[in-house]
Amino acid sequence: MKFLLKNRIEAGQLLATKLIKYANDSDRLILALPRGGVPVAYCIAQKLNLPLDVCLVRKLGTPQRPELAMGAIGPSGVMVINESVVNSLNISDETIQKVAQREQQELERRELLYRGDHPYRGIQDQTIILVDDGAATGATLQAAIATIRKQNPKTIIVAVPIISPEALLALDPVVEELVYLFSPYPLESISYWYNNFAQTTDEEVCHLLNSFFLPFALR
């Protein structure tokens, strides 16, 4: 059976209904994975009346299939490798490092573009709701979780509309709660489960984030 979501907005609205118990609390923060996770997280943040920020990590796509994650990187040298993908495709360490260097440059570009002079919100002792638009291997979310753990949050909750059984098994033991809409098998690709999965642009990300970067944003 094919479960179709209209778009990321509907995905966020449906996830928000599953997270409503976390609404209206100053000790909770929603972190989105750019770019596709931002529209999903924006809808959740609006519904729950919670602050929104971004967690900047980058997927390491395989040379043969860039959409397939062989790992991910985050700030402060965080790197997560999906050993099953690397081994099955016989990907060398040299290839991984080459892709990681390229994605590090993109990570730094997004840091400057999305955040500018806006300071990070405090994570220590906060309940973090980490949001993306889907999880195929879970590598990117694992890198995000490792990055967040370094800052000593109280709790990490992962919220995704679509998650593969593989990612579900990988992520469930490393977070306090995992909230999702569908876990189809076979997954095929995240885009398969959306009617509209158009690429989220940098401009859209900046527009959505600006309304949460008070007092710096112009309303």
Question: Can you read off the two tokens belonging to residue 206?
Answer: 């900046």
Can you give the residue ranges of every domain in the chain? 14-57+110-210
pLDDT digits (tens, 9 = 90+) for 8-64: 999 999 999 999 999 998 899 999 999 999 999 999 999 999 999 999 888 899 998
Q: Give the model's pLDDT for residue 215.
A: 38
> Angle, nearest 10°, between helix axes 37-48 and 8-18?
40
Residue 108 near residue 100, CB atoms below 8 Å: no
Helix (H, G, I), strand (E, B) or coil at 104: helix
pLDDT digits (tens, 9 = 90+) for 137-192: 898 899 899 889 988 999 999 999 999 999 999 999 999 999 999 999 999 889 99
Asked whether the predicted pLDDT for residue 116 surpasses 80, the reply is no
Task: Please tell me the pTM assigned to this model.
Answer: 0.87
Q: Give the model's pLDDT for residue 3.
A: 61
Residue 142 near residue 160, CB atoms below 8 Å: no
Distances (CA, A) of 160 to 37, 78, 111: 9, 22, 23
Residue 59 near residue 139, CB atoms below 8 Å: yes
Helix (H, G, I), strand (E, B) or coil at 156: strand
Tell me the C-alpha distance between 110 and 56, whole Å.
8
Asked whether the predicted pLDDT for residue 128 surpasses 60, the reply is yes
Asked whether the predicted pLDDT for residue 213 surpasses 80, the reply is no
Asked whether the predicted pLDDT for residue 2 surpasses 80, the reply is no
Question: Can you read off the two tokens belonging to residue 79?
Answer: 């790197």
pLDDT bucket at 219, cuts 50 / 70 / 90? very low
At the topology level of CATH, where does 14-57+110-210 sit? Rossmann fold (3.40.50)
Question: Can you read off the two tokens belonging to residue 132?
Answer: 């993306």
